[in-house]
Structure formats: C-alpha cells, structure tokens
Amino acid sequence: MASSELTKSKQQVSTMLKQGFISDYFLSPPPSSPSPSPSPSDPIRTPIRSTPSPTLFEMMTEEQTRDSRPSQSHSHSLDTARIRIEERVARILSGAPFRNPSDWGLGFGDVKLTITARDGFSVSMDVHREVLVGRSQFFKEKLGRRSGSHHSVEICECDDVEVYLETLVLMYYDDPKKKMIGEGVSKILGLLKVCDSLKFDDGISSCLEYLEAAPWSEEEEERVISNLNELQLHNNHEVIQRLALESSTSSKIDNICSRLITGVLHAKDEKARKEMKSLISRLLKEDKSSSDYSYSHNKLDISKETLYTICHKCLTSLILCLSEATSHDENRGIMSEIGRLADNLEWVVDILIEKQIGEEFVQLWSEQNELAVLHSKVPVMYRHKVSRITAQLCIAIGRGNILVPKETRCGLLSTWLEALYDDFGWMKRDSRTGHRRLIEDGLCQIILTLPLSQQETFLMSWFGRFLEKGDDCPNIQRAFEIWWRRAFVRQPVAEPQLQITVCDYPS
C-alpha cells in the first residue's frame, strides 16, 4: 500500500513539473564533484548564474498583480481627493459662526441641516432658523410656516459641498463681500451660483459687486459671461457694463472705427503707427472670425461707406503730395511723405480686401491715369511703395479674393503694370523672398484670366522687359508657358455641328 501511494505521489509531481507549476531547478541534485578552486595565476571570472524561467503559476500571479494596479491607483486617487475635501470642509467648519455660537452671541442651532454631494459625501450641522429664514427666500419657503423648536433639512445632489458651506457662512455676515476678499473669480462664480439657487439676495449682490470691482483675465471673462447668461440675472447691474456697451448702435461703432483708423493714418510717431496698424488689423480680423454669440451683438465693425471715404481721402492726399513733389526740386521731406501716404493707402486697401469689399477700389485704381503719370516723374527710391498697391491688388485677384470684370482687370494692368516693372527692383529690397513670389504668382494668375489676345500683348511686352532688366523684373515665365501652350499647342478642334433633320411622313 505504501509503495502504491509513493508511486502515485511521484506521478503527481511529474505532472506538475510538465505543466510548469513547479520548477525542476530546485529538485536538481547538487554536482557530484566540487568545482576546482582557481589558482592565483588564473584570471578572475565572473560566475554566470542561470535565472530559472518563471512557472505558469508565477506568471499568472504576476499578471493578476499587474491588472489590479490601475484599480488600486484609481482607488488611491479617489481616497486622496476625499481626504482633501474633508480637510477643506473641516477648515470651513472650524471658523463657522454656527459651530462657535457663544463667540457670536448666538444660542444653539435649532435646525439640523445636512448637505450631501452626488458621490454620497455628507456633512451635517446645527444652524439657526432665524438666520436662514432672514437671509434666504429658499429657507423661508421651507421653514417659514413650520412650527416647533427643531427642524431637519437636507440638500441633496450638490455639485460642491464646500461652496454650499461657504455660502451658509456668508449668511451670518452683515456684509458678505468683506468675507470674499482675496478669493478668485472662479470661487466667486461658484458662490454666485449657490446664492442664486438658495435665493440669498445679499449674497448675489455681494458676488456681483465683487466681480464688478475685481480684475479678470480673458478666460475668466468668458466664464463670467457664461455664468451670468446661465443665471439670467438682471442686466442693469454695473458688472454688465464691463461686458456690453449701452445702446450700441452701428453708427456709434462705425464712428469709433473711423476715429481709430484716421488716428493711425495721421500718427506722428512712426513706430507707434506701425504697432497700431498691426493691432487694428488683428482686431478687425478677430472680429470677423469670431463666432461667440455673447459678443455678436456688439461687434466692432466699420461700414463700407466709411472705409471708402477714408480711402478717397488717402488717394487725394497721395495725388497732392506727388504733384507737389514733381513741381519742386527734390525735397526729402515731401519725398518721404509719399512713402508714408502710400503705406497708409495700402493698409486701408488691405482692410477692404479682408472684408471682401475691394472690387470698387480696383476700378478706382485702374482709372488713376493722372497719378500714374505723376508717379513716373518721381525718383524710384521714393515712389516704389505706390506700386505695392498694384501688387496687392494683383495678389488678391490672382487668389480669387476679388472678382472684377475683364475690362477692369485689363484696365488695372494697362495703367499700372509698366510702373510695377519699373519699381520691382526696389520693391523686392523692401520685402522678403516669399512676398516676391506672391507678386509673381499674382501677376501670372491675373494675366491668365484675360482673353488670349490680351495675354499675348502683356506677355510679349514682359518678355522684352525681362531680357532687359533680368532679376529686377518679375519672373512670370510660368504664365508665358501656359499662354504658349494655350495659343499654339492645345488649340481646341472644332467639333462638327450636330444637324437635325425633321421629316414629315404622310399619315
């Protein structure tokens, strides 16, 4: 019997070895003979230790441990968060008047109030019915008609127990706003929401007064707007005046924009003028792209009529300056004024293009034959900024941002293209390589939008000019190649007309 049990036991061990539950490393017999000791002359060798492969049981245990780590980590983080909440709640309660009634001249609380969070966290305290009913319409409705010396009230499913507790503390202060000093905008918005839900009017007023006086970041301003809209508070409070103009009308906004742009155009300090140009342009672009409903009723915009009035004034000033410059000997003051006036006009035209109302200016600029003649009489180093306006329009038309009839496109090139060729050498000195490519691409595109006969006229003229001036002339050979293929390689073959014959058959 003993022999059969021994045999059975060996079979079980053998099976476990084969299945990997027991490593045979520990069952291996020791070496029969000890390893010889190294002699002093032999080099020292680091013994190589073979690590046993893990058993199936060890691997399963390790996998279970690894799988349990995320849940343990999540549980730990939840515990940590709960501990922090409890610490903050304890800190609020430690200084609460209802927890220290003798210090405030109060008797013991006669209302047991329990506040419970969505996750089940709960806080109970004894508060004073007289204070709750006197400061909160919510508690007045709940407790005002009840008789008896003790009451119990529970507020469930709270978003933030701490904020509810802090609001209760504020009810014990004659001037709640003083208790708020030093708090951030986010905390005040939280208090405002709870004050509104509890119909605590003094608390609402104090929060609004605090927000009116406190500085905001732009992010915080978005939250203020969102919260005030959500709570549907009265719009006659002073805090609203920080967010909206009173009786904003289009004429008033248009007048403000006109004053800003005119002020920039007449600025005396050149550095300030450039900075304000950039600022106004950025604000107008942001205004166009803004989809925020909160600001949609008060967008800073400027009418087409006002912009074109400013544009005509800039153009008139530029013509007068060029006329004065050509009727006198070279005067550096007048000459430098040409560049400033051209830069102003270019900026206003950029606003027209951005607002997609630049079509009329293309027509206007194409008709400036007098200005083009005066331009040719001024030294290129002073006049070349005028040609930047032409380049600006070519780029916009080439990109499809301005759509004008072919007569207007042809008139623009007929009036100003030669001047652009003459000034291009100086223009590229004032701009980056990328801007030069934009001008060349714009010229290519606008020429290729014309009929083939006009393409030929402009491109053959460019061919001779490019051979003469080389790098100081725009390189529009891409347009030249396309015109060549259109005109001589890819001529469309006329399809035979479909003939329809109608025959009457005798019935």
Tell me how far the alpha carbon of residue 321 is from its chain's centroid: 42
Q: How far is CA 35 from CA 28, 42, 231, 400, in A?
A: 17, 14, 87, 90
Q: What is the DSSP string of 318-377?
A: HHHHHHHHHHSS--HHHHHHHHHHHHHHHHHHHHHHHTT--HHHHHHHHT-HHHHHHHHT
The label of the residue with tokens 């924009």 reads 257
Q: Could you tell me the residue ranges of all domains in the chain?
A: 92-232, 303-489
Q: Taking 50 as the threshold, does the pLDDT of residue 297 lie above it?
A: no
Q: Span 415-433, mean pLDDT?
A: 88
Cα–Cα distance measured from residue 482 to residue 117, given in angstroms and rounded to the nearest whole number:
73
Greater confidence (188 vs 39) lies with: 188
Cα–Cα distance measured from residue 49 to residue 194, given in angstroms and rounded to the nearest whole number:
68
Nearest to 389 by CA among 314, 461, 447: 314
Contact of 253 with 300, CB cutoff 8 Å: yes
The whole-number pLDDT of residue 345 equals 97
The whole-number pLDDT of residue 99 equals 85
Nearest to 280 by CA among 265, 270, 291: 265
Pairing of strands 122-127, 111-117: antiparallel
Q: Taking 80 as the threshold, does the pLDDT of residue 304 lie above it?
A: yes
Q: Is 116 exposed, middle or buried (0-12, 13-18, 19+ CB in 10 A)?
A: middle
Q: Span 297-303, mean pLDDT?
A: 63
Q: pLDDT digits over 72-120, tens only?
A: 555 666 678 778 888 888 898 888 888 888 777 788 888 999 999 888 8
Percent of the chain with pLDDT over 70: 74
In the three-class reduction of DSSP (H, G, I as helix; E, B as strand; rest coil), residue 154 is classed as strand
The label of the residue with tokens 């980056």 reads 432
343 contacts: CB under 8 Å, gap ≥ 6? 385
Q: What global pTM score does this model have?
A: 0.68
Q: Taking 70 as the threshold, does the pLDDT of residue 152 lie above it?
A: yes
Q: Taking 70 as the threshold, does the pLDDT of residue 48 lie above it?
A: no
User: pLDDT-based confidence at 234, cuts 50/70/90?
Assistant: low
Greater confidence (482 vs 291) lies with: 482
Token pair belonging to 148: 């008896």
Pairing of strands 151-158, 111-117: parallel
Q: Taking 90 as the threshold, does the pLDDT of residue 235 lie above it?
A: no
The whole-number pLDDT of residue 18 equals 45
Q: pLDDT digits over 448-487, tens only?
A: 999 999 999 999 999 999 999 999 999 999 999 999 999 9
The whole-number pLDDT of residue 300 equals 57
Cα–Cα distance measured from residue 273 to residue 268, given in angstroms and rounded to the nearest whole number:
8
The whole-number pLDDT of residue 333 equals 83
Q: Span 271-278, mean pLDDT?
A: 95
Pairing of strands 151-158, 122-127: unpaired
Token pair belonging to 386: 């005028």
Q: What CATH number matches the domain at 92-232, 1.20.272.10, 3.30.710.10, 3.30.1050.10, 3.30.200.20?
A: 3.30.710.10
Contact of 329 with 317, CB cutoff 8 Å: no
Cα–Cα distance measured from residue 472 to residue 321, given in angstroms and rounded to the nearest whole number:
27
Q: How many CA atoms lie within 13 A of 458 on its CB side?
A: 31
Q: Taking 60 as the threshold, does the pLDDT of residue 306 lie above it?
A: yes
Q: Taking 90 as the threshold, does the pLDDT of residue 142 lie above it?
A: no
The whole-number pLDDT of residue 286 equals 76
* Mean pLDDT of all residues belonging to the chain: 81
User: pLDDT-based confidence at 370, cuts 50/70/90?
Assistant: very high
Angle (deg, nearest 10), helices 477-484 and 433-448: 20
Q: How many CA atoms lie within 13 A of 229 on its CB side?
A: 11
Q: Span 402-426, mean pLDDT?
A: 96
Q: pLDDT digits over 185-212, tens only?
A: 999 999 999 999 999 999 999 999 999 8
Cα–Cα distance measured from residue 308 to residue 305, given in angstroms and rounded to the nearest whole number:
5
Greater confidence (386 vs 42) lies with: 386
